[in-house]
Structures are given as C-alpha cells and as structure tokens.
C-alpha cells in the first residue's frame, strides 16, 4: 500500500471532521496557546520555585530552590505536542497515550497531568489551587518528592525515557493487538543517535492495521543535546526525509517558532497524520486493503530548544542552543540580574490569565482537556494492569514427558514448552505473543507456528515459511526490539515471553534493569495496578554453545537480575522438561515480576516425572535421595548441590562415581530450581526458612555447588547462611571456545571429575581409597583431553552417560 489518497482519507474520516481538525478557529487557538503557556509556566515553576507559586509578590531569593534541577530545553516542544494531541482526542474520541522519548522533560508531562486534573485525583495533596501548585513545585526533583523524568510516578506514563533509545519499541509493543490505541511517540534528536532507536524505526514492518493500533512517531529536532549539536538536526532536511522515507514512513514536516503560526501549522499537520492513520485502518478493516505494508505517517517537528525561554543570558545565546538543555538560569538566588530575568520569563506567560484567584486552572485552560479516561494522563492503557485479563492456560501436565526412571530418557525440554505456548496462542488470540530474535525454531519453540505465522508486513516470497501479515509470532534480529516490544505489550496489559540465546540477552540487559526499576517503583504506588510479568527465556546456553564458540558463551544476565530487588527478581533453572513446564505455568500467571528462566534447547536427560517436578518446583529446591548415598540418619560427608541443567548432569554423574568407587562415603545431592530460595527470607521473599536450609545443606558439612552461571552469584546468595564459607562453587569462569559439550565443563573446572575431586578435598572424613580416586579422576581428565583432540567428540562413557539400575536401588 502506498500513501493513502485524499479521497480515501475523506471516506474514512469525513471531510468536515478533517476540516475542523486542520483549521482550528480563533477560540481554539486561544485555548491551545493558553494551555501551552500554562504548561510552560508550571514546568519552570517546578524547576525553580519553592515559594510564591503565582507571583503574587515580586520574586525574592527565598522563593528560589537551593538546588536547581531539571531540563527546560525539550519541555516546550513536548508541551506543544501534548496540547495539540489533547485537542485531537477531544474532537475525535481517539484513545491515545503519550510517550516522551526525551523523558528528561519530565516536568512538562507532570504539568500536563496536573492541568488535566488527573494528578490531583491520584495525589489529592497536590490540589488544583495555590497550595497544591506550591506542593507541585516543591516536590519536583527534591528529597521526598518525585524524579525529574517521566517516571512511574507520572500519570499516563509507560515510558520513563531516562535511558534514551526505547520510546518507539515501547510504543509499537503497546499497540500490538490493541486496535483502538494511538501511541504518540516523541523521539528526541539526541535519542535518535542511539543504536536501539535507530533499529526501532522498523516497527512498521510488523504492524497489521486490521488488528493492531498505530504509532505516530514525532521526531522533535530542536537542534542540540546536552552539550552540542545533534546529527539529524544538522543534516540537510532532504537527507533526513529520505532516511525516514527509506524506513517506510510518509514524512510530514513542521518548522518554526512564530506564534500563532506554529499552532496553525502543527494542528494541520497532526490532523493530516491522524486522518491518514484512520484511512489505513479503515481500508484494512473493511476488506479494501491490498495486503502491502502501509506507508504510515511520521511528523518531523523543528522548533528551538528552550523555546520561549530567555533568549540571551549574560550576553550569551540561550534559546535555540545546547545551553538551554537543563537550567538556563543558574545562580538565581545570588544573582539579582538572573532573578529579574526569571521573574520576567515567568510573567511572560501571563499567569493571571491561566489561573483563577484560587490558583486553579482557568476555564480557558481546562477546556482543552478531554474527559475522563480519554485524558492521556488518565488512559487505562498507561496503567495496563487495569485492563489485564488472566491468560486462558491449558493444563501444563498435558505436555509432560513420561519419566519412569531418572536419567534414562533424553528430550529437548524447550520443545515441550513450545507445544504449551502453541496452545496459549490458540486460546488467547489477542493477549499473548512470543518475541524472539529470529530463533524461534532454533530454540525448539517452533510448535507455535502450527497456529500462528511470524508477523511481517513487508514483501513475502514463495520461499518464506510461516510468514504473513496475519502472523503474531514476533521475530526480528534485534534483542532491543523484542525486549522493548514485550515491555510495551505487558505494560498495557497483555502477556508474553522474550526468548533468546543466553549470551545475547546481555545486548538488552540494560532494558531488563530499567524495567525492573519501573516495576519496583510501581509496587509502591497503590494506584498502579499490577501488570503481567516480563518473562525471559534463555536457551542456547553457555554450556552447550560448543559449535558457535566463546562469543556465544556467557551467562551474565543471571548476575544482572540477581542485583534487582527481591520484590521484582525471580531466577529459575529448571533441570528438565517437566520442571520447565511447571515453572513456565507459574511465570505466565504471575504479575509485576522479571522472571528469568534458563534451560538449554539440546537433548538432555530427564530427571523427574510431572508430579515430582511440580513438588520440586513448589519447594524451589530439594534433596534427590535416589542420586546420593545419604540415608538421612546423620549428616553426610559432603553435599553436592547443583542449579542448572548441564551442571545437574555433572553433579549426578559425580555422585554416581563416588557411590561406585567409595561406597562408604555419604553423599547428599541437592538440586535448586528456584535460585531465589537460597537467600535468607529477609533478603528475598522466596528465601527458604532456616530450618529448610539446614535440612538441605546442614549447618556444618561442606557443600560443593555446581552452578550454571558465575560462581560468585552463589556466594552472594548464601551470604548470612550458617558458615557460608563452606560453600565451594564451580561454575562458568570465562573459559570457552569451539569445543565439545563435556570439554566446556572441563575448561571451566565444573566436570564430574572436578566435582569428585572437590568433594574429596573438602570432606571432613575421607574413607580408604580416596587418594586412588583422586588419581583416577586426573587420569580421566587427561584421557578426555587426548580423546577429543583425536576423535573430535566426547568419550562415549561421557557422551552417552545415563543412570544405571544402581540409581533405583533402595
């Protein structure tokens, strides 16, 4: 589909509606300008004032905050856009949310919610009167107050914008399966220089106008970032236009600083953009769409940085330069000339016209806002938990692997999860999506393609498989896009999962951290409803990425998530398919967590039947009596613990060696599936009781712990437990290459032979024959090294290892 025609727009929107939107009458221009001036006034007040909010007396130093914090430069542009979108919503009833990419313009969005009344409804102490305005000013970027960005405390926000680059991915995620929503995404020109943002223009290649909403990107080129020019603002406008057209957009442009001319031009441009969006959707939803990708509109807004602020200060140009980025007037308390400039600046907005005698917004200002939930600061889409429906989940037991005996059968565990997700797709056609960087089949989740294609709005050829505009499986080779789309999807109330290769989850690890911060802060706000959890599945893991080599070997995201607060972070290491099914069911039902699930996709030994797996996962950790020689009557000689699929196999194999070669040596095997059971209950909500910890690990026996990730994580988690120094951890120590699976464990000193030697070195009682077993382990490691070099694969006794009949005795 090329750009829609004028006739198609008139048919979809109506000529009179379009005319009214594009040509505001004088009274509407006055209303727009008054709201914009009021917002600018409140923005400046938040940055500067701690008294005299309505300028009822001349400004004095005591009215000025001791610390001047905030960002003025982007704020007037953000406010202008907000005012005009509000007018559009009031005329059309369009459901809309506003995402501020330059989120450092936080005071402008706080001011918008205040003018719309939403802020006072949520925070009654910040009332729409002089006292409330003073509280609004004093709380901004102050101790005990609110952050300077468009944070979780800001009504109407699903996007803080503190870390630049994610505004478009959040916007596109928000509108997927959300056909009535318009996400207005303001892209700052500094933000446009980031890698994530540069990759996120491609979102239009995945939207389906039949069932998805629309994103309206507004690239705000105000010329500068914190200390210099931005790339796109200095490019020839024709080059910028061609760049954006190449991404698939129809570019509409507005430029200037003249008033009221800018109000007229922006109103006409916004009307054109919205009407083209509605025309695309009308064609698609009435069967008149030809199936090609629409050319969605995009607005480039060029306005001065720090618009309407001080033009010059101390003879130096401010407006239109990087100097207006933050606080254009510093030292106001101590510099009478600056204080006078500030007062003149504030009075230039004519606050006596904008606020009545009580300090409430005047009727002229209030009249711009839509009503109720149509106010962007009150949209339920920006408080997505209000819209969340529970998933219709099939019984995960129906997908279980039959496991009559431990470690006899090999299966691809994630393939069973794929079958479960297939039916989640089938039963939830508009509330669940899988997001994966081009790896769905590789990660053994391809069963989803039995019920849904991959989403793709670009050209499809005869060679493509399971790709169509009607698909709902999201594949794009960008972790940032997949991660961000899922965040936008869940924050607006729907459910999903992000699946990726373990090592490359680190590409978007910062997004994981930022989302965790959002969820953590949201949990403290009673008006924020809980949203579906961010479920992250890591497969193609460090221990089995033998063919790709060192670049693909890195379990770092576990460490990242462990640093998050306990009321947000969850880390699961299911050792087999049935445990994975149980964990996945729990995660898909949960709210407002980051659930990290780590398990490999390769065929692996299966340990527990479904009932055992459910019980094991419910406890989070347990003793595998069948794997050890501990009779429970007294403390064992050593505890072999494990968390992670490959290291679980090595641990059970080590226990078998000890059982066969040192039958008098008492070994206890403990498997941990919920990593967050290891901390103390006061350190994490999942932390096991001291009694259970002692039951599993004793208080005195040394523990050899084989761990999927970096060894330091376990030491961090068991800190404060009885005699924590007795834990000896083996894990990934940044040793890797293109090699065999077992050699990866050898390189990282986490193989069964290393674990046996660790057990012997750390046990407090050694039976006869221990020294011979140590020597035998050294010989096996040497034998392994020679074998893999000659045969290019692992020794059969390792490669084909499984438990024998001995494991069933007793």
Q: Return the closest-CA partner of residue 780 out of 653, 646, 668.
A: 653
pLDDT, mean of residues 678-682? 96
Residue 314 Ramachandran class (φ > 0 left, ψ -120 to 50 alpha, else beta): left
| pLDDT bucket at 784, cuts 50 / 70 / 90 | very high
Element (H, E) at 42: helix 26-48
Strands 534-539 and 594-598: parallel
What are the start-end ranges of the E strands in 534-581?
A: 534-539, 569-572
Separation of alpha carbons 722 and 710, rounded Å: 22
Q: Minimum mean pLDDT among 108-117, 466-475, 757-766: which range?
A: 757-766
Express each pLDDT in 384-400 by its tens digit: 999 999 999 999 999 99
Q: Any residues with CB less than 8 A from the CB of 402 and at least 6 apart, and which?
A: 409, 609
For 56, phi then psi, to 5°, come to -75, -10
528 has pLDDT over 90:
yes
pLDDT tens digits along 665-677: 999 999 999 999 9
- With cut-offs at 50, 70 and 90, classify the pLDDT of residue 776: very high
For residue 531, is pLDDT > 50?
A: yes
Q: Which helix or strand (DSSP H or E) is residue 267 part of? A: helix 261-285
User: For 10-25, what is the mean pLDDT?
Assistant: 88
Angle (CA) 301 174 209, round 5°: 80
Say if residues 102 and 32 touch (Cβ distance below 8 Å).
no
Tell me which of 177 and 549 has the higher pLDDT: 177
- Token pair listed for 569: 């972070």
Those residues with Cβ within 8 angstroms of residue 234's Cβ, 6 or more apart along the chain or in another chain: none
Q: Residue 801 and residue 83: Cα distance in Å, rounded?
A: 68
Tokens representing 680 are 């103390």
Q: What is the CA radius of gyration of the chain?
A: 30
Model confidence pLDDT, tens digit, residues 568-623: 999 999 999 999 999 999 999 999 999 999 999 999 999 999 999 999 999 999 99
Rounded to an integer, what distance in angstroms lies between the CA atom of residue 375 and that of residue 711? 50
Query: What is the arithmetic mean of pLDDT over 106-125?
Result: 97
From the list 427, 403, 418, the residue with the least C-alpha distance to 614 is 403
Question: Which residue from 405, 401, 419 is spatially nearest to 576, judged by alpha carbons?
Answer: 401
pLDDT at 808 over 60: no
pTM: 0.96
pLDDT digits (tens, 9 = 90+) for 399-440: 999 999 999 999 999 999 999 999 999 999 999 999 999 889
* Nearest residue to 182 (alpha-carbon basis) of 95, 58, 108: 95
Q: Is the pLDDT of residue 806 over 60?
A: no
Check if the beta carbon of residue 743 is closer than 8 Å to that of residue 788: yes
What whole-number distance in Å separates Cα of residue 791 and Cα of residue 327? 68
pLDDT number for residue 805: 42
Q: Which helix (H) or strand (E) holds 181?
A: strand 181-188
Calculate the CA 169 to chain-centre distance: 10
pLDDT band at residue 809 under the 50/70/90 scheme: very low
pLDDT tens-digit map of 230-254: 999 999 999 999 999 999 999 999 9
In this predicted structure, what is the pLDDT of residue 723?
94
Q: Which letter does DSSP use for residue 317 in this model? A: E
- Please check the confidence at residue 1 and state whether its pLDDT lies above 60: no
Q: For position 706, what pLDDT does the model report?
A: 98
Predicted confidence band at 140 (pLDDT cuts at 50, 70, 90)?
very high
Confidence at 810, pLDDT banded by 50, 70, 90: very low
Q: For the chain, what's the residue count?
A: 810
């Amino acid at each position: 589909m090329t750009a829609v025609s004028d006739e198609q727009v008139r048919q979809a929107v109506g000529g009179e509606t379009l005319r009214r939107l594009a040509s505001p009458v004088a009274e509407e221009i006055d209303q727009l300008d008054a709201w914009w001036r009021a917002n600018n006034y409140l923005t400046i007040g938040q940055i500067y004032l701690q008294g005299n909010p309505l300028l009822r007396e001349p400004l004095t130093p005591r009215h000025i905050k001791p610390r001047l914090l905030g960002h003025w430069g982007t704020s007037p542009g953000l406010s202008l856009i907000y005012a005009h979108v509000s007018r559009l919503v009031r005329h059309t009833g369009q459901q809309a949310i506003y995402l501020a990419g330059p989120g450092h313009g936080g005071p402008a969005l706080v001011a918008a919610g205040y003018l719309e009344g939403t802020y006072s409804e949520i925070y009654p102490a910040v009332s729409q009167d002089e006292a409330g305005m003073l509280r609004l000013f004093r709380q901004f970027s102050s101790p005990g107050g609110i952050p300077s960005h468009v944070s979780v405390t800001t009504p109407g926000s699903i996007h803080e914008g503190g870390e630049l680059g994610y505004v478009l991915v959040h916007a596109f995620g928000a509108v997927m399966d959300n056909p009535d929503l318009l996400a207005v995404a303001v892209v700052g020109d500094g933000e446009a220089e980031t890698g994530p943002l540069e990759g996120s223009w491609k979102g239009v290649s995945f939207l389906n106008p039949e069932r998805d909403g629309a994103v309206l990107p507004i690239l705000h080129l105000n010329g500068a970032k914190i200390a210099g020019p931005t790339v796109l603002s200095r490019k020839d406008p024709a080059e910028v236009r061609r760049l954006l057209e190449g991404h698939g957009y129809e570019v509409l442009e507005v430029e200037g600083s003249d008033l009221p001319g800018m109000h007229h031009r922006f109103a006409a441009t916004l009307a054109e953009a919205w009407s083209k969006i509605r025309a695309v959707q009308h064609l698609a939803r009435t069967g008149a769409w030809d199936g090609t990708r629409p050319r969605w509109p995009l607005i480039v807004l060029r306005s001065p940085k720090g618009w309407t602020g001080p033009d010059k200060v101390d003879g130096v140009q401010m407006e239109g330069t990087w100097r207006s980025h933050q606080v254009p007037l510093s030292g106001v308390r101590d510099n009478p000339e600056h204080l006078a400039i500030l007062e003149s600046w504030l009075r230039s907005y004519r606050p006596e016209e904008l606020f009545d005698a009580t300090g409430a917004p005047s009727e002229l200002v209030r009249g711009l806002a839509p009503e109720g939930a149509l106010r962007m600061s009150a949209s339920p889409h920006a408080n997505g938990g209000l819209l969340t429906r529970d998933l219709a989940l099939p019984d995960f037991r129906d997908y279980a692997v039959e496991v009559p005996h431990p470690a006899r059968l090999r299966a691809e565990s994630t393939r069973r999860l794929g079958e479960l997700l297939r039916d989640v797709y089938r039963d939830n056609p508009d509330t669940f999506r899988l997001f994966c960087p081009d790896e769905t089949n590789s990660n053994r989740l391809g069963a989803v393609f039995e019920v849904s294609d991959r989403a793709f709005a670009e050209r499809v050829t005869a060679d493509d498989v399971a790709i169509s505009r009607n698909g709902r499986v999201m594949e794009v080779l960008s972790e940032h896009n997949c991660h961000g789309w899922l965040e936008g999807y869940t924050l607006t109330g729907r459910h999903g999962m992000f699946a990726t290769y373990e090592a490359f989850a680190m590409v978007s690890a910062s997004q994981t951290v930022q989302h965790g911060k959002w969820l953590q802060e949201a949990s403290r706000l009673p008006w924020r409803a809980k949203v579906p959890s961010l479920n992250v599945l890591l497969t193609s893991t460090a221990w089995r990425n033998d063919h790709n080599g060192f670049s693909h070997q890195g379990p770092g995201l576990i460490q990242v998530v462990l640093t998050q607060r306990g009321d947000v972070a969850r880390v699961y290491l299911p050792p087999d398919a049935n445990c994975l099914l149980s964990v996945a069911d729990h995660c898909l039902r949960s709210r407002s967590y980051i659930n990290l699930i780590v398990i490999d996709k390769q065929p692996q030994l299966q340990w527990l039947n479904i009932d055992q797996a459910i019980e094991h996962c419910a406890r989070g950790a347990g003793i595998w009596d069948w794997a050890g020689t501990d009779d429970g009557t007294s403390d064992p000689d050593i505890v072999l613990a494990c968390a992670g699929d490959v290291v679980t196999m090595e641990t059970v194999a080590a226990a078998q060696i000890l059982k066969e070669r040192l039958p008098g040596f008492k070994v206890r095997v403990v498997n941990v599936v919920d990593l967050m059971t290891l901390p103390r209950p006061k350190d994490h909500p999942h932390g096991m009781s001291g009694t259970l910890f002692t039951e599993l690990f004793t208080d005195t026996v040394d523990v050899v712990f084989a761990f999927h990730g970096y060894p330091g994580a376990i030491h961090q988690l068991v800190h404060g437990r009885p005699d924590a120094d007795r834990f000896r951890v083996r894990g990934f120590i940044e040793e890797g290459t293109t090699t065999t699976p077992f050699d990866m464990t050898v390189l990282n000193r986490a193989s069964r032979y290393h674990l046996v030697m660790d057990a012997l070195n750390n046990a407090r009682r050694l039976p006869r024959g221990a020294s011979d077993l140590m020597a035998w382990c050294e010989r096996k490691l040497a034998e392994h090294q020679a074998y893999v070099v000659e045969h290019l694969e692992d020794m059969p006794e390792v490669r084909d290892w499984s438990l024998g009949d001995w494991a069933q005795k007793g």
